[in-house]
A and B are shown apart, each in its own frame.
Chain A
Amino acid sequence: MAFHVEYLKLNLSKKSIVPMHSSIKKLLIVDDSKVSRMLIRTHILARRPEWMIFETACGEDAIKFVDNELPDYCTMDINMPGISGTDAAERILSKYPSIKIVVFSANIQEVHQNRARSLGSILVAKPVTEKSIALALNYFTDSE
């Protein structure tokens, strides 16, 4: 919770210097594991150093964050304390269908793949590696 507020402040101050209509995209990482967030952040920044990266540790915080900041993209873990990542993704997408969400999970059983697809999202298998990040980035920037 604490770090969420911290990042929020940090990035709000950054926001003021970001010009409108730029290629600078905002990505929200939702994962209860700090290590996992670090991993995603590191891999994304290696490929897209200009992006702004935000983090929250649970679905509830993610929903609040999206209301305030409206990111372009989001990576979502499934198993987190509180509501599940898929439920959070569903709520976010029903309100903001333009956001592209990738569900990152080690659990890639068909049920979860189908669920992600039905939400208008995709499921990418953990662990977070260059390969899985490439899949996520392709999905984010596919139609653009």
Chain B
Amino acid sequence: MSDLSELHIDALTEIFSIGAGRAALSLSEIVGDEVHISVPSVLVINSEEIDSTTLALNGGRFGAVTQHFCGPFNAEAVLLFTEDQALKIVGDMMGSQMSIEEIAEFEHEAMCELGNIILNACLSAMADILHFTLESSLPNYRIASADEVLCRLKENADQPYVMILHIDLSIENRHTAGSLVFLLSSSSLANLVVHIDQFLGSIS
């Protein structure tokens, strides 16, 4: 099931690039500067195969923004940044008038918003292009260690598939990399593939 064709992955990459572009536009409006977000790769694998390399995350602590989406397919979407980087992004977005301690106070709320913008943009691009509607929970932010994140992803028996997007985010002069992980049940992944096939069928 997890072996999507090259064309499926191409379609997903294009969809998420559009989402990334939209997220960048929203963020640039907030920070008043150029923001660049790209999705260099999309990967769909069995969650057992997941490790810190596939997530492109080194050890340490992570800020994780989670939203639950439901519609033709259900997914738990988790956006991960290392906590240090998350703090720096938030710092940059808020401008430099604050100390790192003050920024830490705002980390929770600001990371929720940053994650919300990126997650909504990616999911709304998907909904637009594949012609369906999705509903979503509000974002939730938590800090976890790499091991906790991996355990949670692996031990999720109901959602044995993961779709991983590597995300490059540049705000002003700061460059950051994160990962966006979708946890999918087999039926959700199958439904997603059906929608991509319908879309591909309409253009070929």
Contacts and interface: CB of A to CB of B under 8 A. Distances in A.
A100 B134 CA distance: 38
Given A38-B204, A79-B38, A111-B34, A105 B11 contact: no
Contacts of B204: 38, 42
Given A106-B20, A106-B21, A127-B129, A35 B14 contact: yes
A42 B204 CA distance: 7
Given A107-B24, A107-B25, A127 B34 contact: no
Main secondary structure of the interface of B (DSSP, over half): helix
Contacts of B125: 106, 127
A38 B24 CA distance: 25
B21 A105 contact: yes
B200 interface: yes
Interface in A38-97: 38-39, 42, 79
B34 A33 contact: no
A9 interface: no
A23 interface: no
A79 B37 CA distance: 10
A37 to B, nearest CB: 10
Given A34-B7, A38-B203, A127-B129, A109 B14 contact: no
Contacts of B128: 127
B95 to A, nearest CB: 19
Interface in A1-42: 33-36, 38-39, 42
Nearest to A125: B21
Contacts of B19: 106
B17 A106 contact: yes
Contacts of A107: 21, 24-25, 36
A50 B25 CA distance: 36
B18 A127 contact: yes
Q: Number of contact residues on B: which range applies?
A: 20 to 34
Given A42-B203, A42-B204, A33 B21 contact: no
Contacts of A106: 17-22, 125
Interface string B180-204: 0000000000000000000010111
Nearest to B199: A35
Contact of A109 (B11, B35, B38, B203): B35
B14 A108 contact: no
Interface in A100-144: 105-109, 111, 126-127
Contacts of B21: 105-108, 126
B28 interface: yes
Contacts of B36: 107
Interface of B: 7, 10-11, 13-14, 17-22, 24-25, 28, 34-36, 38, 125, 128-129, 200, 202-204
